[in-house]
Amino acid sequence: MKEAKSKYFQSIALHFFKHRGAPFFLSSKELDYIARWEEMEIPLHVVLEGIERSIEIYKRKPGRKAKIRSLVFCDLQVLKAFEQDRERKVGHKKRIVERHEKRDRAKAEIERFLEKIPHQINYLQEAYSLAQEVLSQSHFDEEKLERIEGKIEELLWKNSLDEEKERVKRRIAKDYKSKEEEEFERIFKIKLVKVLRDKYKIPYISLFYY
């Protein structure tokens, strides 16, 4: 068990060091995050996927020439990757999808969504219309899509009903082992947004999901 734990920590650290370079050690806070991921039973390949997503998103931000310096900044994408992994069907095989194909898929999903957007979430119409405009451009800005994605999640969180929040809180308390308040709130927010997306069939904006 101790050997498996050591491999989990070392694999994550080595993967991150390949991106960051020196210093070749992790802070106590970064080690705490890895410990939490392990406590939540997030598979190693999912953590690495979340780190890669974080790196790619960071690279696309304007004016960002430096590299991600801390694993802490990867936490959100690791948790999102974990949610996706939990929903994948057994035996499902991913294939490499070209960037333009992802764009076309996202654009089609958004168009269908805007045609029949539920009245309960009509407050998302402006954000999705903007995303549609961005994706219609020949040289579209993926960073702008990421910002719109973040705005959509904030709107879902802000406009969610109290009873929806309570249902999700009860489910998280049952499914997740982490007792840290900060960690619980982070997972709670991600899970609530995911529940609302599923309920109203809300498509993603970020091309990571296509």
For the chain, the domains span 2-87, 99-209
| pLDDT for residue 111 | 95
Q: Is the entire prediction scored with pTM above 0.75? A: no
Of 34-43, 85-94, 119-128, the least confident: 85-94
Structure confidence at residue 180 as a pLDDT band (50, 70, 90): low
Name the residue among 48, 202, 193 with its Cα closest to residue 122: 202
Cα–Cα distance, 8 to 44 (Å, whole number): 6
| pLDDT for residue 205 | 87
| pLDDT for residue 118 | 93
Cα–Cα distance, 26 to 16 (Å, whole number): 10
Structure confidence at residue 89 as a pLDDT band (50, 70, 90): very low
Return the SS3 of 105.
Answer: helix
Check whether 2 has a pLDDT greater than 50.
Answer: no
Please state whether the peptide bond connecting residue 43 to the residue before it is cis, i.e. omega within 30 degrees of 0: no
| pLDDT for residue 131 | 94
Cα–Cα distance, 74 to 160 (Å, whole number): 26
Please state whether the peptide bond connecting residue 23 to the residue before it is cis, i.e. omega within 30 degrees of 0: yes
Structure confidence at residue 126 as a pLDDT band (50, 70, 90): very high
Ordered alpha helix ranges (H), the chain = 2-20, 28-39, 44-59, 75-87, 99-115, 125-135, 142-159, 162-175, 181-200
Check residue 33 and report its DSSP letter: H
| pLDDT for residue 29 | 81
Cα–Cα distance, 158 to 124 (Å, whole number): 12
Q: What is the mean pLDDT of the chain?
A: 82
Check whether 67 has a pLDDT greater than 80.
Answer: no
Mean pLDDT of 148-156: 90
Task: Provide the sign of the torsion angle of the four alpha carbons 158, 160, 162, 168, taken in this order.
Answer: negative
